A and B are shown apart, each in its own frame.
Chain A
Amino acid sequence: MHVHDKEKAASSVIADLTQTVELFHTFLQHEPSDIPSFIRNQAFMRRLSLSFVILFAYLREASSMPDDFVQQDGSVQKQPEEFADYFIKKGLFEESDKESYVMLASMYMAIRWSSHGKYPDEEKIMINVQRVYAFLKKVVDSGSSHSPV
């Protein structure tokens, strides 16, 4: 891919990420008293999942991550910590944000791959949504001025 194409792709994904983070913000600001908490929790489960999918797409694009980095031994997925280290090395977020990235990745996996006896604890996840939002906002703000690696 040419540098121009890479820039175009990264800027398109950062636009998606900006939009999804804005939507996240409207949810956080709104504390409706007329809807049950399970509804609000489920809405956040979707928002968290999609935010992670879009964040990962952006970080992958902006770091020019090679395809073979995503899959280890052709099948085993790398741990969130390894991805975080890679993105930190590429200057996409700071070491101090590693925990937030890993937390969001773990939330995504728990929500997406929930199964018998391993249903995500939504109340526990909800405790950390503000922190996740702050991390996403930070990535968006620095990403808007960041050029692809």
Chain B
Amino acid sequence: MAIFKIDMRLFEDFNYQLARLQEHFGPLAPRASKNPVTRNIILEARIHAFWQCQSTLRELLQSMYTGSDLSKKEGSNPDNAIGELIGWMYREKMLSPKEVDALVELFESGMLLFADRCWLNSSEKHKIFDDRSNRLSRYYHSLSTFSGMLTQRLVVSKESEHART
């Protein structure tokens, strides 16, 4: 069984960014507006919060991979650190197939949504951008579930540590 360590500073960063993203879907979230500029400001803010959150999660997963014995295994590929770690979490039943798909999609969307609208030079690309930005609430829930799973693991590992001492 692979063992990973969590960089608590990165994990706290991730939870901080997650809380910022949560504000977009909580009671403080603005209501839908008819004004196109207001709508655009709300959307850009939401994309920014999502992008920061997924970027911190990437960093966290990368550090978990580097500190685990997965990275020392023969045939491991550091370029695919996040993919290997997610694959391992799936095999260890820490993630369901649905959760794996959701994580893969949200990371892909993170890259897509970094683009500015002026770089989208076709109506097809605009459609993809709009489609992915409409899924931000779903991505927030996936990120939140993932954070919950890691928190639970931390509690479990602390409890087993206490049991050993």
Find chain A residues with CB under 8 A from B16 CB. Answer: 119
In the assembled complex, the Cα of A130 lies from the Cα of B118 at a distance in Å of 21
Does A2 sit at the interface, judged by CB under 8 A?
A: no
Q: A-facing mask of B12-43, CB < 8 A → 1, else 0?
A: 11001000100110001011010101101110
- Interface residues on chain B, number (Cβ under 8 Å): 30
Q: A-facing mask of B41-59, CB < 8 A → 1, else 0?
A: 1101111110110000000
Task: Establish whether residues B119 and A16, one from each chain, have CB atoms under 8 Å apart when the complex forms.
Answer: yes
Task: Establish whether residues B48 and A45, one from each chain, have CB atoms under 8 Å apart when the complex forms.
Answer: yes
Task: Establish whether residues B30 and A43, one from each chain, have CB atoms under 8 Å apart when the complex forms.
Answer: no
Does B79 sit at the interface, judged by CB under 8 A?
A: no
Q: A-facing mask of B95-116, CB < 8 A → 1, else 0?
A: 0000000000000000000001
Q: Which residue of A lies closest to B116 (CB)?
A: A50
Task: Establish whether residues A36 and B38, one from each chain, have CB atoms under 8 Å apart when the complex forms.
Answer: no
In the assembled complex, the Cα of A13 lies from the Cα of B43 at a distance in Å of 24
Which stretch (A24-32, A59-67, A74-82) binds chain B?
A24-32
Interface of A is mostly: helix
Given the known A-B contacts A42-B49, A45-B48, A54-B116, are A35 and B13 also in contact in the complex, defined by CB atoms under 8 Å? no
- Interface residues on chain A, number (Cβ under 8 Å): 30
Find chain A residues with CB under 8 A from B45 CB. Answer: 38-43, 46
List A residues 1-58 near B (Cβ within 8 Å): 15-16, 19-20, 23, 26-27, 29-30, 32, 34-36, 38-43, 45-47, 49-50, 53-54
Q: Which residue of B lies closest to A49 (CB)?
A: B48
Task: Establish whether residues B48 and A20, one from each chain, have CB atoms under 8 Å apart when the complex forms.
Answer: no
Q: Which residue of B lies closest to A119 (CB)?
A: B16
* Nearest chain B CB to A31 CB, angstrom units: 10
Task: Establish whether residues A39 and B116, one from each chain, have CB atoms under 8 Å apart when the complex forms.
Answer: no
* Nearest chain A CB to B84 CB, angstrom units: 24
Q: Which residue of B lies closest to A54 (CB)?
A: B116
Find chain A residues with CB under 8 A from B37 CB. Answer: 26-27, 29-30, 32
List B residues 103-147 near A (Cβ within 8 Å): 116-119
